[in-house]
Amino acid sequence: MAASVRVLAFAGAREVLGCSELEFELAAPLTARALLARIVERFPRLAPYASSLRLAVNDRYAGWDEVVRPGDEVAILPPVAGG
């Protein structure tokens, strides 16, 4: 049974995706790394930035091996520069 995760995109990631929020279908739980790979497959213009992105799952920074489950909220976070 397929379900989805809510994906939020910020800053440059939002510009590349063309939206700030989308639903992403998951047939089964995936690691954060695998989910990002699937998002990049769907939005190939994100590929050049993928190595510098971080994901947060349910308001917490996620390790790449953390499991993302249907119903979770995932944020795509580009690097932050400041001064």
> Mind listing the pLDDT tens digit for each residue in 4-51?
999 999 998 999 999 999 999 998 999 999 999 999 999 999 999 999
Question: Does some domain include residue 63?
Answer: yes
Buried b (16+ CB within 10 A) or exposed e, 35-49: bbeebbeebeebeee
Q: Give the number of domains in the chain.
A: 1
> Is 78 part of any domain?
no
Q: Is there a contact between 55 and 74 (Cβ–Cβ < 8 Å)?
A: yes
pLDDT tens readout for residues 46-80: 999 999 999 999 999 999 999 999 999 999 998 87
**What domain range includes position 47?**
3-8+16-72
pTM of structure = 0.89
Separation CA 14–CA 72 (nearest Å): 19
